Amino acid sequence: MSTAKPSSTAKPSPKLAATVLDGKALAKQMEQQLSPRVEAIKEKTGRTPSLATILVGDDPASATYVRMKGNACKRVGMDSIKVELPSETTTEQLMAKIDELNDDPDVHGILLQHPIPDHIDERACFDQIKLAKDVDGVTCLGFGRMSMGEPAFGSCTPQGIMYMLEHYDIELAGLEAVVVGRSPILGKPMAMMLLNENCTVTICHSKTQDLAAHIQRADIVVGAVGVPELIKAEWIKEGAVVIDAGFHPREGGGVGDIEMSGVADKASAYTPVPGGVGPMTINTLIRQTVIAAERAAGIEA
């Protein structure tokens, strides 16, 4: 009597399509939720929540970013106060202007647009911003408090990424995350936020040896290094979550820090470029300004 088992004709289950982490759509949805909160602040205080943006010099890209942030304020009913200073502004003059804004009760958030001219001590000026108004998450005090799990506004790009991961129900605890980049407003706070959510975090950078080996074992990859397509699609682990925080203009569009061609076939979720991380950065700035205004008004967020 034969004991041979019948051959199986079952086919392997097809791979589920990767989730597109649509930051543009999420930012629009969140703006709709912010508008009534802005109205509630106006009704209680008679003041309109306001973001002061400081632009030093005439860098065209910075001017574009400031304009985009001003437009986002208008969409939710907030005021945007534009402060434009000449490129020859000194560190002392810039710090004095920041102090004026710190003391102004009509200003709820302060943004110092990066970069500023080289002769100015950027770190000293960032740290001059009052913690309650540091809605861009750039002060050392804010970074330290965030890292320790204490109340503080997070840097807008990594905080926006965290909002996006939460919205798409991506469970982070126990995952291995690799952050490529170590800037004080992106790579470092990103790593701390992921660590605070119980990821095991590796920070890679320009001196990292065998970057591919680190990427290949990552459950979450965050490209935040500022080098076009440095991270190759072939390095991405099957089922990984891929977050590209870079954008580099190219003819007909642009690319990020991650080579996205082929990523959708391997990843479980990924951010498009553009339309992924960028819109969430600006939205987070607006959201945190609203929160700052609510706190100033004694309104529970």
Structure tokens at 125: 């000026």
Task: Sort 33 into a burial class: Cβ within 10 Å, 0-12 / 13-18 / 19+.
Answer: exposed
The residue among 93, 143, 141 whose CA lies nearest residue 117 is 93
DSSP per position, 102-132: HH-TT--EEEEPSP--TTS-HHHHHHTS-GG
Q: Among all residues, which ones are annotated catalytic?
A: 69, 113, 136
The residue among 188, 80, 100, 113 whose CA lies nearest residue 144 is 188
DSSP per position, 26-94: HHHHHHHHHHHHHHHHHHHHS---EEEEEEES--HHHHHHHHHHHHHHHHTT-EEEEEEE-TT--HHHH
